[in-house]
Chain A
Amino acid sequence: GENVEQHPSTLSVQEGDSAVIKCTYSDSASNYFPWYKQELGKGPQLIIDIRSNVGEKKDQRIAVTLNKTAKHFSLHITETQPEDSAVYFCAASKVNFGNEKLTFGTGTRLTIIP
């Protein structure tokens, strides 16, 4: 089955700096890669996703890149703000007619230092 590894497990950055979280996956058939933000006591919130026919996607301060050959994908947050502090999870899935059993990474606790 699919295996997703996520690094680093914890990350602290100064407010205004950039944060990068990296994930690798094992199943070359995976074609959908979402990123979720989870705040304390809440469920995961989808923040951005990318499909295997795209190499990069950006939404304001958040961007995701995908390298299918290397089976790597990364989350980039620029101009970080205190409200970006949370646990971030990457995930991978084989989407076929909406089947989206998500395999998650182990999470990155991001702390923004004011």
Chain B
Amino acid sequence: ETGVTQSPTHLIKTRGQQVTLRCSSQSGHNTVSWYQQALGQGPQFIFQYYREEENGRGNFPPRFSGLQFPNYSSELNVNALELDDSALYLCASSLSGRQETEAFFGQGTRLTVV
């Protein structure tokens, strides 16, 4: 088990609503990345946060936004939910600034939009 925890584990929302997903990074890690994994697909990079600043973004619309806090935990916010947003949302933490840069994933949040 990694030290990355995500909450909630499951969530059901209605189209048009907003959702906030949370991630606590592994102790000693300063970088958090978020991924979206649709059923039967590989994870797709949403964005990364390093020292509370966005540090790279994938091909996702602005209604996907995030935050990183001073303790390096992070939030993913999605506005105006669409049915296609239904997926497993994964958070990965890592340490930047060192040779070793392995990313460790949490168990994910399963979001269902109805």
* A contacts, CB < 8 Å to B: 4, 6, 32, 34, 36, 41-46, 49, 89, 91, 95, 97-107
Contact between B107 and A46, CB atoms less than 8 A apart: no
Which of B2, B43, B96, B108 touches A102 (beta carbons < 8 Å)?
B43
Which of A6, A43, A44, A101 touches B45 (beta carbons < 8 Å)?
A101
Contact between A103 and B45, CB atoms less than 8 A apart: yes
Name which residue of chain A comes closest to B41, CB basis.
A106
Given A104-B42, A107-B41, decide whether A98 and B96 contact each other with a Cβ distance below 8 A: yes
* B contacts, CB < 8 Å to A: 2, 4, 6, 31, 33, 35, 40-45, 48, 50, 55-56, 58, 90, 92, 94-98, 101-108
19 A–B contact pairs at CB < 8 A?
Answer: A34-B102, A41-B107, A43-B107, A44-B43, A44-B105, A46-B104, A49-B102, A89-B43, A95-B101, A98-B50, A98-B94, A98-B96, A99-B48, A99-B96, A100-B31, A100-B33, A100-B94, A104-B42, A107-B42
CA distance A6 to B103 in the complex (A): 20
Name which residue of chain B comes closest to A1, CB basis.
B59
CB neighbours (8 Å) of A97 from chain B are: 96-97
Contact between A101 and B42, CB atoms less than 8 A apart: no
Which 6 residue pairs of A and B lie closest in terms of their CB atoms, listed nearest first? A98-B96, A104-B42, A43-B105, A98-B101, A43-B107, A44-B105
